Structure 1
Amino acid sequence: MLQRVTKSLRSTWNRWGIRRIYGAAIILAGVTALGGLSLMDGLVSQVSAQDVTYFRIGTSRPGSHLFNIAAEIGNAISNPTGGADCAPTDACGVPGVVGMAQTTAGAIESLQQLREGGLDAAIVQADLVALAAQGKGPFKEAGPDPDLRAIATVGDVALQVIVPAASPIKTLADLKGKRVATNPAESDGAISISQIFTTLGLTSRRVKLLPMELSEAASQLAAGKVDAIAIVERPDLAEITSIAEHMPIRLIPVGAAEKAKIGTDRRDLLLAHLPAGTDATSGETDTFIVPVLFVVTTKTDNTVAHELARTLVVPQRDTKLTSNPAASKPDAHVESTVIPLHPGVEQLLGTTN
């Protein structure tokens, strides 16, 4: 089961072709499944096969990249019948547990339900997790959430700013005064674009952001009704690559000025290369990627997390291993996230050293 989820996630990373330049948040598919192992407080470590527990993983809409990750994790941890014939060294899922990808309106709702106990975990972009932990941005009214804990980084999404090849727009600063289509209103991507652009000085007074579905954005770019598309999404989406069938396109790179404004010590925005061919473009492009985290809370039981995770393959701390074959410099560790690791993960890492 673990091999199946690992293979699927790896094929996603290979398809993206992302190569890290610097950063944190190592991707670990083995620990990915661990997130579903940490059930809510009050549950004993030995789960009876007769008592099925549903582990609810909050995620975005069906068909989205985050939903697919949640579904893979749910499949990996599910073992409602107990599997008595499973060898101790095999990853056969969690006895008595059924993992469920539960759709929400996005990160705001997922993290709110996780905080209130309506979910057991959530698959959320790291930049939004950081805002929730600090009580900033869309989480300002709710206040800081100090109980959020990370199980692992389970994927990435990337900042992609797309223009026609003949466009005079060469840098992100050139977007000033332009019409820019972006992710749908109140979506995770739209919140990320707003936060990133504000940090870069591209406020709503300087750039006209037009939230819409990606298919509509692609049509409007091809028709010349918008000057650019700016999204935080998985690269090589069909809606984007289809534009190249009608017109050449370019990705606008993150330049030195943008790198300086964002900084190199953040764990929610990491500098990366998108290789030639990404989104049907001809050259490499520097951009920012946003890690996707598997998040639980402090209420998730330590003993259960360790007991049910003992059959998983976990790297030793500081061995600088990564299950992401696309990472060119795996110089960060699994504990490098925007929120603390769950103690159950710390315990598991300690026993494997």
Structure 2
Amino acid sequence: MSAPLTLPRRSLGLAALTLAFSASRSRGQDASTTTFFRIGTGGVSGAYFAVGSALASALSDPPGSPPCRRQDECGIEGLVATAQTSAGSVANVGDLASGVVESAFVQSDVAFMATQGKGPFKAGPVGDLRALAAFYTESLHLVLRAGLEAKSIAEALHGRRVALDEEGSGTLLQARFLLEASGLNEKDLKPFYVKPAAALAMLGEGRLDAMLVTGGVPMPPVAEAISSKAATLLPIEGKAIDSLLQRYPFLTRTIIPASAYGLAADTPSIGVTAQWLVSDKLSDAMAFNLVRVLFTKRTMDILAKSHPRGADITPANAFSGLAVPLHPGALRFYREQGLAPADAH
């Protein structure tokens, strides 16, 4: 799939742009053979942008790049991939459906809601979503300001100043699930709809009591707040959570390891799976090549260095909790490599 290079309304992954315009030797390609491929990610401080920027770099092989000795040492010939920041998973689905991006990282619950026309997608289902791969599990963090003691989720949130992330974020959707399970809604709080980095700053300044944020563990801003003694985590567990997980099978139990944030004990929580989605309009050949390059040793090494959760992006996890069908081109790759489960579709 090709798209003209225009000035994006969101920032781009610098690594991919550097690759695109600093090549040293031509392989006989010209501008007419260049394909631009945009990846919708998340905020600049989150795992999505870190992983997306690294992935864009690995996928890119623009005109003028040095020749490859082996196919698994390079990206897709003629491709210039870029990572674009966004408000999050809900916004990414909209951008993917409208063609603002060619692919996007989307949480499993958001993908499910989109295909069913539920939650933020009540205006109508988004039926053309297809998966390339599942990436890794993300945990919902319930972060409390230092000194705030609570014995339950409801006690921690009721009547409090709580950041729920921006409209368009996956976190806001999961926050609403959590409020529902706790017998609350947004009217029972003093809600703030701000990005995690801003929320953590407000928490440290005493202008917030709590915040919710979903992401790959560890999340650097959360780690900084906890290490500076400005915040701590509250476990997300109990009978109400058990019922929530039964109602919504795209949610899963997770454990935030004590070592991730220097805490005394592990923190039980709930989470979702980060997934790499495209439109069904993407060509089979491009989908095949995207997954082929994704699972080369070179790319997996690059992703593992981009963020701790990047090491979880492996063929073994590629089908975990997929909420939409695989793209036919991706499915062909998995079948040819003997990786596809018998029920993969």
Instruction: Say yes or no: TM over 0.5.
Output: yes
Query: Are 1:343 and 2:325 an aligned pair?
Result: no
Q: 1:41-60 alignment to 2 at 5 Å?
A: 49-50=29-30, 51-60=33-42
Quick one: structure 1 residues 226 and 115, their matched pair in 2 at CA, closer, same or farther if it must change by over 3 Å?
closer
Query: Are 1:158 and 2:143 an aligned pair?
Result: no
**TM, length-normalised to structure 1:** 0.71
Which residue, out of 174, 178, 185, partners 1:192?
Answer: 174
Q: 1:1-353 alignment to 2 at 5 Å?
A: 49-50=29-30, 51-81=33-63, 85-88=67-70, 90-141=72-123, 143-164=124-145, 166-175=147-156, 177-188=158-169, 189-222=171-204, 224-244=206-226, 247=229, 249-263=231-245, 268-306=250-288, 309-310=291-292, 313=295, 334=319, 336-353=321-338
Check conservation: 2:165, 2:213, Cα contact below 8 A.
Answer: no
Quick one: structure 1 residues 57 and 217, their matched pair in 2 at CA, closer, same or farther if it must change by over 3 Å?
closer
Task: Return the offset for 1:76.
Answer: 1.0
3-state SS, counterpart of residue 73 of structure 2: coil
3-state SS, counterpart of residue 281 of structure 1: coil
For residues 84-123 of structure 1, give each alpha carbon's deviation from its aligned partner in whole angstroms, at most 9, with x where no partner exists: 8424452310011111123344434432232123321112
Higher normalized helix content (fraction of residues)? 2
Task: Return the offset for 1:247.
Answer: 3.7
Task: Return the offset for 1:283.
Answer: 1.1
Distance 1:150 1:252 in 2: 33
Quick one: structure 1 residues 284 and 151, their matched pair in 2 at CA, closer, same or farther if it must change by over 3 Å?
same
Q: Which amino acid aligns with 1:181?
A: V
Check conservation: 2:142, 2:236, Cα contact below 8 A.
Answer: no
**TM, length-normalised to structure 2:** 0.73
Task: Return the offset for 1:325.
Answer: 9.2
Quick one: structure 1 residues 88 and 277, their matched pair in 2 at CA, closer, same or farther if it must change by over 3 Å?
closer
**Structure 2 unmatched runs, 5+:** 1-27, 298-307, 339-345
For residues 201-228 of structure 1, give each alpha carbon's deviation from its aligned partner in whole angstroms, at most 9, with x where no partner exists: 3312434333334455445545555432
Check conservation: 1:171, 1:255, Cα contact below 8 A.
Answer: no
Check conservation: 1:252, 1:285, Cα contact below 8 A.
Answer: yes
Distance 1:313 1:105 in 2: 27
Check conservation: 2:250, 2:272, Cα contact below 8 A.
Answer: yes
Distance 2:164 2:42 in 1: 13
Quick one: structure 1 residues 222 and 304, their matched pair in 2 at CA, closer, same or farther if it must change by over 3 Å?
closer
- Which of 84-93 and 62-71 deviates more? 84-93
Task: Return the offset for 1:133.
Answer: 1.5
Quick one: structure 1 residues 268 and 227, their matched pair in 2 at CA, closer, same or farther if it must change by over 3 Å?
same
Kindly tell me the number of residue pairs found equivalent between the two proteins: 298
3-state SS, counterpart of residue 146 of structure 1: coil
Check conservation: 2:92, 2:104, Cα contact below 8 A.
Answer: yes
Check conservation: 1:107, 1:128, Cα contact below 8 A.
Answer: yes
**Structure 1 unmatched runs, 5+:** 1-47, 316-322
Question: Percent sequence identity over matched residues?
Answer: 26
Q: Which amino acid aligns with 1:344?
A: G
3-state SS, counterpart of residue 72 of structure 2: coil
Q: Which amino acid aligns with 2:234?
A: I
Distance 1:199 1:54 in 2: 43
3-state SS, counterpart of residue 201 of structure 1: coil
Q: Which amino acid aligns with 1:93?
A: G
Distance 1:72 1:96 in 2: 18
3-state SS, counterpart of residue 133 of structure 2: strand
Q: Which amino acid aligns with 1:131?
A: M
